[in-house]
Amino acid sequence: MTSQQPKYEYVSSAKLPTRLGNFRIHGFVEASGQEHVALSYGDWKESDVVPIRIHSECLTGDALFSTRCDCGYQLEKAMANMVEKGFGVLLYLRQEGRGIGLLNKIRAYNLQDAGMDTVEANEHLGFDADLRSYDICKLMLEKLNVNKVELMTNNPRKVAALEKLGVEVVARKPIDHGITKDNKHYIKTKTEKLGHAFDPHLFKD
């Protein structure tokens, strides 16, 4: 009998100084070969409620400063919140475009330029509205000695996903979204079609 292949492998960690503070970066790889990282800040005890964010990769928003989504703003805000709190963890999952990949996301952007919303564009390309998986999160949190979390998110589905995995979510903390004229419709779609929790007054003209 062969042993079951592990769901992930912890690779290594290193210091990661940033303009927001001095973090540590931790590398993980799934059995499929997909790579993910976690950022940790500060120290905590096993019994502490640790503020965390699950952030799906968004090259355009995180690295190229796009304002047609709120991803880059939320990434920076989450890291700043961790520094302000004194400790925390950010799980950075490599699942671009809600899991459809970078080039398909660009195709979806093209369809959005022609009038579709983000959900309609993904579905027009033959994908579900959201293909992301959070299964690796519990394993990453266990490696980082995180047992109870305060989840920084506007997406209640992430809370449900963690609870289904057996992670104790003590609270959901809304995270600022950085609304702009370019992403207002995108955020409105996330609220109406994907169940994100935003104040409806944000969308009044």
Choosing from 62, 70, 130, 172, the catalytic residue is 130
Instruction: Clarify whether 128 is annotated catalytic.
Output: no
Q: Which of 62, 70, 132, 172 is catalytic?
A: 132
112 marked as binding residue: no
Does the annotation flag 168 for ligand binding?
no
Cβ proximity of 62 and 97 under 8 Å: no
Annotated binding residue 204: no
Judge whether 69 is annotated as a binding position.
yes
The CA-CA-CA angle for residues 46, 93, 171, to 5°, reads 45
Residue 2 labeled ligand binder? no
Alpha-carbon gap, residue 114 to 109, rounded angstroms: 9
Q: How far apart are CA 38 and CA 114, in angstroms?
A: 36
CB 57, CB 92: distance < 8 Å? yes
What values do phi and psi take at 116, rounded to 5? -80, 160
End-to-end CA distance of the chain: 64
57 is in an annotated binding site: yes
Is residue 185 part of an annotated ligand binding site?
no
Q: Is 138 annotated as a binding residue?
A: no
What's the CA gap between 77 and 187, in Å, rounded? 17
Active site annotation includes 132: yes
| Feature table: binding site for Zn(2+) | 58, 69, 71
| Feature table: binding site for GTP | 53-57, 74, 96-98, 118, 153, 158
| Feature table: binding site | 53-58, 69, 71, 74, 96-98, 118, 153, 158
Which positions are catalytic? 130, 132
